Amino acid sequence: MSQELPRQVQLRRDLEQSYQLQQGKSYLVIKDPITRRYFRFTEAQSNIIEILKGEPKDCESVAALASDKINTRVSSTTIEAFCKSLEEKFLLETPEVREKLGAIRGQQLEARNFLYWKIASIDPAHIFAWLLPRTQWAFTATFQLFALLTIFTGFTITWLNWRSLSGAAPALFSVYGLLLIGPWHSW
């Protein structure tokens, strides 16, 4: 029969802490930078949290240190229950908490990076199945040669008439020119 080793507990090192005074009572406020949640603890709880900083300790040791610090007897079952609540809030350094925080951190990265954004979309297979027979002619060598000649002709006409085009370009930025090229022109 093997004897189980006592559970070691330790507070996470990356937590941000500050003390606040409210209605004459001192509270410890802990911010978790990963989950972006805040937790408020009483003075007695903050004394136990102070003990949980640093090296990992078993619950029996924490109970003895807490009893000395707050001058009242604290049982190890109370410490175990308190540590369980800290673990549920992801404030303790355990493999399970690290795994859950890793998943949360990954989700946060996905939320910030627009490449991970999910948008509603449709399945294009039906559209392409309908479109392909109707546009098959655009993939022939004859059409591609025709398109290349058309583009080359457009560049040639632009090059041959560059002076008159560049001289007339400022006229497009008049009121008449804007009305001429505006979107309502197609009415």
105 and 141 co-located in one domain: no
Answer whether 10's CB lies under 8 Å from 61's CB: no
16 and 84 co-located in one domain: yes
Task: Kindly state the average pLDDT of the residues 1-10.
Answer: 59
What Rg, from alpha-carbon coordinates, does the chain have?
36
Does residue 53 lie in a domain region? yes
- 80: domain CATH number is 3.90.930
Residues 19-44: tens digit of each pLDDT: 888 888 889 999 988 888 899 999 88
Amino acid at 10: Q
Angle at 175 between CA 173 and CA 179, to 5 degrees: 95
Angle at 68 between CA 65 and CA 71, to 5 degrees: 140
- What is the domain extent for residue 21? 8-115
Helix (H, G, I), strand (E, B) or coil at 39: strand
Positive or negative CA dihedral for 133, 137, 141, 143?
Answer: negative
Residues 132-181: tens digit of each pLDDT: 999 999 999 999 999 999 999 999 999 999 988 888 777 777 777 777 76
Does residue 122 lie in a domain region? no
> CA 31 to CA 17: how far, in whole Å?
6
Amino acid at 35: T
154 and 81 co-located in one domain: no
177 and 101 co-located in one domain: no
- Which of 115, 147, 174 terminates a domain? The answer is 115
Does residue 49 lie in a domain region? yes
16 and 107 co-located in one domain: yes
**Percentage of the chain lying above the pLDDT 70 cut:** 83
94 and 141 co-located in one domain: no
101 and 151 co-located in one domain: no
**Percentage of the chain lying above the pLDDT 90 cut:** 22
18 and 57 co-located in one domain: yes
State how many domains the chain has: 2
pLDDT category, 117, cuts 50, 70, 90? low
- Joined together, the tokens standing for residue 8 give 């070691």
> CA 19 to CA 49: how far, in whole Å?
13
34 and 93 co-located in one domain: yes
